[in-house]
Every structure is written in structure tokens, then in C-alpha cells.
């Protein structure tokens, strides 16, 4: 599988256009992107930003020979935080795909919104592979997937109402407070709220 595509960057109009689908402005979208990926969906190789999670791979594989092999090769373990993360997760992902490609893709977070591969359906795709292939093409696809995920998980109200703790709990998991995720969201929103937005009108 190739992890490079057109790698098109967001246009200025994409944030307010896509944000309007859930009734938020670009400031709320910017806040999520800043916290997740510092506002960029591709790495310096033109690949979608990605973090492979060995503890998720453990769950995705389930008991058996594949999991045993992954553990031996240092690609799967039972709990988050048992080991650190490498600077580049792609070599580890490629090795994991040799054991089970779809499970490996499901075990990583992808793109601007760092959507987990196992959430592909909520992001609008039939498989994790389909989602990743779309995400290689453009940040707009990545942002569309993020907004679809927010809608599917009913977090759009929290984002509209700036209920940062509730949004963080649903989007980032129960450990959000330990990492100050909600505080970083609020701070990022505050920075963007004082900047003039790109004009955008919803077509009638």
C-alpha cells in the first residue's frame, strides 16, 4: 500500500465550508486541528500524519498466532504506555501490516483529526484502508472525515457550545483531563476567536 497521494493542503474556504456542516465556525475546527496535529495533516514526506498504537493492535488481533507474533516483534502489547513512541510510526505500521494489514490500519490514528482506523465507518468509509487512501489525497478529505466522525458520535453539540471537557471526553477518551486536552482546546479556540474569519455563506 502506498501512503502518498496528491497530499493537497486545505484551501482557506475549506474550514468554514466543512465546519458549517455541523454549525460551527472555523475557530472551533482550528482548535481541534491545532491540538491534534498542529494544524497540518501531512508529514514532511507527504504522508498523512499517523500514530500507530500497539495496545490497539493487541485488541484488534485478539488471541492467537498473529498476536503472539506481533508481541514477539514488539508491535503489540496489552496496555497503553508500556513503551514509548518512535519519531516515525510508519516503519512499525508497515511491519504490523505484514501480520494483518487491516488490523494494523485500524490500530493507527490518521490525518488532521487523528481519526482511529477502527472508526472508519463513523468517518464515512467502509474500511480503514479506504479511509487511509482518501486521506492521502487531501486535507479536505481528512477534515470531512473528522466532521463526519464528530456528527456520528454526537459531539457536534458540545463543540458548538464550547463544552470543551465534554467534547474532549468523547473525542479523546477518558484520559483527556490527565493530558489537559480540554484546556488546550479552550486555549486554541481563544487564540483563533480574535482572528477574522474567512467569509462564507451557505448556499440557499
Could you report the per-residue pLDDT of 151-176, keeping only the tens digit for each?
999 999 999 999 999 999 999 888 88
In angstroms, the first-to-last Cα distance of the chain is 41
Residue 204 confidence (pLDDT) above 60: no
Could you report the per-residue pLDDT of 19-33, keeping only the tens digit for each?
888 999 899 999 999
Give, as one character, the DSSP assignment of residue 73: T
Decide: helix, strand or coil at residue 72.
Answer: helix
The pTM is what? 0.91
Could you report the per-residue pLDDT of 61-99, keeping only the tens digit for each?
999 999 999 999 999 999 876 677 888 999 999 999 999
Residue 109 confidence (pLDDT) above 70: yes
Residue 187's pLDDT band, with cuts at 50, 70 and 90, is: very high
- Compute the mean pLDDT over every residue in the chain, rounded to the nearest whole number: 93
Measure the CA–CA gap between 145 and 122, rounded to whole angstroms.
Answer: 8
Residue 178 confidence (pLDDT) above 60: yes
Measure the CA–CA gap between 93 and 1, rounded to whole angstroms.
Answer: 11
Amino acid at each position: 500500500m502506498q501512503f502518498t497521494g496528491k497530499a493537497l493542503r486545505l484551501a482557506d474556504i475549506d474550514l468554514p465550508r466543512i465546519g458549517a456542516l455541523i454549525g460551527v465556525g472555523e475557530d472551533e475546527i482550528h482548535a481541534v486541528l491545532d491540538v491534534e496535529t498542529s494544524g497540518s495533516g501531512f508529514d514532511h514526506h507527504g504522508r498523512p500524519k499517523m500514530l500507530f498504537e500497539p495496545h490497539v493492535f493487541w485488541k484488534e488481533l485478539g488471541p492467537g498466532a498473529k498476536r503472539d507474533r506481533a508481541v514477539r516483534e514488539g508491535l503489540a502489547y496489552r496496555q497503553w504506555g508500556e513503551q514509548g513512541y518512535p519519531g516515525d510510526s510508519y516503519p512499525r505500521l508497515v511491519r504490523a501490516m505484514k501480520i494483518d494489514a487491516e488490523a494494523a490500519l485500524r490500530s493507527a490514528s490518521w490525518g488532521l483529526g487523528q481519526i482511529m482506523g477502527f472508526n472508519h465507518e463513523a468517518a464515512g468509509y467502509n474500511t480503514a484502508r479506504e479511509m487511509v487512501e482518501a486521506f492521502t489525497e487531501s486535507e479536505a478529505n481528512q477534515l470531512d472525515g473528522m466532521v463526519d466522525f464528530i456528527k456520528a458520535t454526537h459531539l457536534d453539540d458540545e463543540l458548538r457550545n464550547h463544552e470543551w471537557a465534554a467534547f474532549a471526553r468523547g473525542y479523546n477518551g477518558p484520559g483527556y483531563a490527565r493530558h489537559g486536552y480540554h484546556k488546550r482546546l479552550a486555549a486554541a479556540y481563544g487564540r483563533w476567536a480574535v482572528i477574522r474569519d474567512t467569509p462564507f455563506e451557505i448556499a440557499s
